[in-house]
Amino acid sequence: MSRENTNESGVPAHVAIVMDGNGRWARARGKARNAGHRAGVRATRQIVEACVERDIRYLTLFAFSSENWKRPPTEVRLLMRLFLEALQREVAELHKNDVRLRFMGDRSLLPDDLVRQMNDSEQLTSGNSGLQLNVAVSYGGRWDIVNAARSLAGAVSDGTLTPAEIDEDQFARALSLGGVPDPDLFIRTGGEKRISNFLLWNLAYAEFYFSNALWPDFDAQALDEAIDDYLSRQRRFGRTAEQVNAG
Ligand code: IPE
Ligand code: IPE
Ligand code: MG
């Protein structure tokens, strides 16, 4: 059993989750997709609490992708409103629990009131040292990489960086998760087995776990099952099993 990249209590340091299946959860109950998204917000709250209790250091949640802008405008509007309401409702409690909130994604496409609330929440919680909760909204892995390339190109044209200085560490620092260790455990609910343009760079060596549970049904017990599965794997990072066992 590999304990590499786990914290003292043996849980992964960084968990990244694609929260999928809200629409199907609603359809199975004869409800509108919006009801599924509301139930999804409740599940998110529980999982964040569970991560705080389990002393997970980083939790990165995929809430809305670059591609989700293609959804019907009524669904997009409802999601934006749900994000705003959830943030307004939860930020004080998150702050009390020492959670540090960070948002990642293209904010230029988001409604002004949501961006204001995101900025305020980040500022309020910036000094906290508990769970770092990264929420990806209007986020795409390709957008992130292009954004990083653009900022490095800007530094080169300003004369503060030379092309030869651009290495993997430098590039990683320019990404949205710059300074955050790569995810150890990637979870996707909803049964689909794909990344859907989530953290393309950062997932290079994550352990993947796919759950058939729809996101509104994913609870602390389901999270523990994912963590147990993660802990049963040997992470080799290119080396042989013998090398890893020899430490
Ligand atoms: C995930 O659930 C939430 C978002 C992408 C915003 P979906 O809305 O994709 O649910 P399904 O996949 O249709 O069931
Ligand atoms: C991925 O879910 C994005 C989020 C969970 C926010 P989707 O439901 O949008 O993914 P695809 O389109 O089925 O791959
Ligand atoms: Mg989906």
Q: Does some domain include residue 180?
A: yes
**CATH code for the domain of 104:** 3.40.1180.10
Percentage, residues of the chain above pLDDT 90: 96
| Closest atom of ligand 1 relative to the 33 alpha carbon | 8
| Closest atom of ligand 2 relative to the 23 alpha carbon | 8
Confidence of residue 2 (pLDDT cuts 50, 70, 90): very low
Q: Does some domain include residue 175?
A: yes
- The verdict on the CB of residue 194 being under 6 Å from ligand 2 is yes
Q: Does some domain include residue 241?
A: no
- For the CA atoms of 167, 171, 177, 183, the dihedral, rounded to the nearest 10 degrees, stands at -40
CA 68 to ligand 2 center in whole angstroms: 7
20 is known as an active-site residue? yes
Number of domains observed in the structure of the chain: 1
Confidence of residue 7 (pLDDT cuts 50, 70, 90): low
- The verdict on the CB of residue 23 being under 6 Å from ligand 1 is yes
Q: Does some domain include residue 229?
A: yes
Q: Does some domain include residue 80?
A: yes
CA 170 to ligand 1 center in whole angstroms: 34
Mean pLDDT (the chain, rounded): 96
In this prediction, residue 6 carries a pLDDT of 61
Model confidence over 59-102: pLDDT tens digits? Answer: 999 999 999 999 999 999 999 999 999 999 999 999 999 999 99
Compute the distance between CA of residue 147 and CA of residue 88 in angstroms, rounded to an integer. Answer: 28
Domain residue limits at 64: 14-233
| Closest atom of ligand 2 relative to the 194 alpha carbon | 14
Q: Does some domain include residue 247?
A: no
Q: Is 105 a residue whose pLDDT tops 50?
A: yes
Selecting among 20, 144, 182, 184, the annotated active-site residue is 20
Put simply, whether the predicted model's pTM sits higher than 0.75 gets the answer: yes
Q: Does some domain include residue 6?
A: no
